[in-house]
Structure formats: structure tokens, C-alpha cells
Chain A
Amino acid sequence: MATALLQTVKLFCERDDRVLIRDLDFALQPGEVVQIEGPNGSGKTTLLRILCGLSDDFSGDILWQGEARRRVDSEFRRDTLYFGHLTGVKFSLSPRENLRWILQLKGIPPHSPGLNDRIDQALSNVGLYSYEDVPVYSLSAGQKRRVALARLFVEPADLWVLDEPFTAIDRKGVTQLEGLIQAHAGGGGSVLITTHHALDLPTIRKLQLGLGRGTWQIQ
């Protein structure tokens, strides 16, 4: 078996004296989509935050391509895209400026060839054509989420960590996103996703949390 992209070894996490996850041994292979399921408060977001390095509140090991994540932190962060409840979109900037800045943060040189065309293309892909230069605060709630979702079209990353990406997105957008996730997995990328939608994807593994006292199940 090839080296897993992301692997957890005996991951344990408790919050406010409640064990959320006990001894999670889980490996995410390249090209795989894993949906994390569970009722509200079962630790889905907590797990995602731990996996992408936004929370240190755990014990156990996390491996990135077979090496301790701590040691390959910079590579890990370069190759991971996190999309959380808070999108990091600045309301007083335009969608174009927002994407440009997020890409620069990721280490994309600001003068990469075709960067501006790509950003515009990504924005039109998420249905924000002709909204590129309006300040984000004048957009609707769904459109604000879409500004952040445009990252999926331009930001280079092997691993996508998506926390409830379908919030405030219309049905057509959900279908488009599913296609995008599938295309990403088809190209060898991996996706970790939490959602209450029934995902319409042919191959998907499910990690069930919240089965009581930190137990879990992989289907």
C-alpha cells in the first residue's frame, strides 16, 4: 500500500471532560474522499481543526506522507487547503483582492503568469462574474461564501479540508461543488469533508463520530 497522505495514530481528544475521540487510527489515501459524520457537538469541527493544525488540544500522532507532521510543517501547510466556518474573507475588499491576497499568503508569487485571469476565471466559476470588483460586504450571504469557495478553483493543494462547505449555497452550487470534489479526487487529491448533505459521489468513505464515549467507526 502506498504511503497515506494523512494518518492519525491513537488520536485522543477530550473537551470539557467529555471524550470526543478515543484512539482514532485513520489513514487518508491519495485520491480518497472521506466524509466525517456525526450529530452536532460530536467533534467533527474539532477533529478537522486538529488534523490541519489549528488545535493542539490532542494526544497521539499525526503523520503527513509518512512523516511526523511537526517535522514537515511547512510542506504540510503549503499542500493543505482549509475551508472553515469562518472563511477569512475581508468584507471591505473586493472578491478579486480577497483571492489575490489568500493566494499570496499561500506563497504564490504575485506576478505568476496568468494569475489575474485565473482568479477571474475562478470567480466566474462560482457565479461571481461581474462582481469581481464590488466590495464583499455588498454581496449576499451565499455569494460571500462563494468568494471563499473560489479558492478551490485556484489554490494548489493536495489535501482539502472542508468544514460544512455547503452552508448557504444553492442546489446548483452544491452539485457543482460535488463535481469539483470528485475531480480533485480523480486527480489524486484527497478530501476531508463534514456536511449534513447526502453527498452524491460514487466512492466515498465515511468516518462516523459521536457513537458515545469517543468511539468511532469507518465505513
Chain B
Amino acid sequence: MADPIVSQPLRAEEVPSMWSGMMAIMKRDLKIAFRQRSDMVNPLFFFVMVIALFPLGIGPEPSTLQKIGPGVIWIAALLSTLLSVDSLFRQDFDDGSLELALLSPQPLFVLAFGKVIAHWLVTAIPLIMVAPILSVMLYMDRDTVWVTLYSLLLGTPVLSMISAIGAALTVGLRKGGVLVAVIALPLYIPVLIFGTGAVEAAAMTLPYAGQLAYLAAFLVLALTFAPFAIGAALRISVTSQ
């Protein structure tokens, strides 16, 4: 055994800083995501394919596509969030880093929050970036495309937070896949209603600020309460196995 380079032992902070804990887990997850790109590309590919299939299945009439456009984009975003969320805690659960997180002096909700933010950055941001192109494909006009973008920016973090609760609850089960959908989908409904509502209003050149304000309110609500629910759910999943 070699002599230690520095003789003073490392000291953990008396009260660990929540910010650094959150940033640490976020950076780690982003690093992992950029090394295993399939986690990032799969939901995006799914989103693009679902939207591309609609004109093929329904027919290319601009009036029909314009009418169903907002709904199609929102439902595709919703399903692709659901698709990606199952892997959110699965790997950490399987390799034991969730146990380490549980035993860390950091509160679990802080770490859960960091994880969900990282997950949103790698799965939802690419989706939001391609959404305008797909909106144009569905014959939306320029203003509507912008509103689609705003509504997705406000709505997808809420979707991520909600589905993370479901994923945290089911991570201890061997086959939790469908259960996440059963838990999360009903909770998606308000976001879907106001998300598509904003885009439809914009398409009809009506005021849409109200719907966006509701989405923003959901976002604040989700950011405030969901991390605690996710943390508690993770604790149950790990301690009851």
C-alpha cells in the first residue's frame, strides 16, 4: 500500500450543499447519455415516425392535417416521454447506484430532481427542436408553430416529472412497463388539454395566453411537488425489495 499523497483525510461537508448534489447527478447523467446515444435518439426517432405516419394514414389534405396537427404533435410528445421514462431509474436500480444515492447525506428529492432535469434535457429538448419542422409538415402557419414550441417547452417538463413518479414507483417491479403508462397517462390529460388548446387557439388566431398560463402553472406545481413524490417513491422501491 503506497503512502497517501495528502496526509489530511478528506472531509465531507457538515451540511452537504443541495445545489452541488443536484449538479453532480445531472452532470453524471448527461455524460452517460452522451455516451449511450440510443437513449437519446430512440424517443426522438419515435416522435418523428409517429408524426410522419399520420399524413400517410389519413391522407395529405392540408385542411385535415391542419385540424389534427396540434393533437398529433402533443400525443406523439406524450408517448415518446412515456417510452423514454422507463429507463430513467432502471439502470440506477440495477447497478446499485440508487442504493448509494439513498445512503448519501443528500436528501433523495434533490437527487431525483437532478435526474429528471437531465432526462428532460436529453429526451425532450431534441424533440422540441424538431417539432417546428414537423409542424410545417402538418401545414401549420408560422404563428402556430411558435405557439407549439412554447406549449411544448412549458408542457414537456411537466410530463417528465409526472412520468418520473410512475417510473420511481414501479422501478422495483420486474415488469413495470405498462404500469407506468397506467399511472402516468391519466395525469397527462390536463397538460394535453391545455397544450393542444393553446395550439388550436393560435391556429384560429384566437388569444392563447390563457392556456399557456395554465401550462406554466402546472409546471410550477410539478417542479415544486413532484421531486418529493419521486424521492419518496424511490425510497419505497429500494427499501421494500
Contacts and interface: CB of A to CB of B under 8 A. Distances in A.
A123 to B, nearest CB: 11
B87 interface: no
A61 B9 CA distance: 32
B182 interface: no
A86 B103 CA distance: 13
Contacts of B10: 103, 108, 112, 115, 118, 154-156
A94 to B, nearest CB: 10
B32 A105 contact: no
A102 B97 CA distance: 9
Interface string A72-93: 0011011010101111111111
A54 B12 contact: no
Given A78-B12, A86-B94, A88-B96, A107 B104 contact: yes
Contact of A56 (B6, B101, B105, B239): B239
A166 B241 CA distance: 24
A105 B101 contact: yes
Nearest to A105: B104
Contacts of A125: 1-2
Given A88-B96, A88-B99, A105-B101, A93 B5 contact: no
Contacts of B105: 74-75, 77-78, 106-107
Contact of B12 (A91, A107, A121): A107
Contact of A87 (B16, B17, B32, B96): B96
A174 interface: no
Contacts of A135: 35
Interface string B117-159: 0000000000000000000000000000000000000000000
Contacts of A154: 10
A112 B239 CA distance: 32
Contacts of B102: 53-54
A90 B28 contact: yes
By secondary structure, the A interface counts as loop
Given A101-B28, A156-B11, A121 B2 contact: yes
B128 to A, nearest CB: 25
Contacts of A114: 5-6
A153 B9 CA distance: 10
Contacts of B21: 104-105, 107
A91 B95 contact: yes
Contact of B5 (A55, A92, A105, A118): A118
Given A93-B32, A124-B2, A54 B239 contact: yes
Contacts of B36: 92
Contacts of A80: 103
Chain A CB within 10 A, most for which of B12, B111, B238: B12
A18 to B, nearest CB: 17
B106 interface: yes
A53 B96 contact: no
Given A78-B105, A117-B5, A118-B6, A84 B99 contact: yes
Contacts of B59: none
A212 interface: no
A121 B5 contact: yes
Contacts of B5: 114, 117-118, 121
A161 to B, nearest CB: 9
Given A52-B103, A87-B95, A121-B4, 17 more contacts: A54-B103, A54-B238, A55-B239, A57-B240, A74-B105, A77-B105, A78-B105, A82-B99, A82-B100, A86-B94, A89-B96, A101-B28, A105-B21, A105-B104, A105-B111, A112-B10, A179-B1
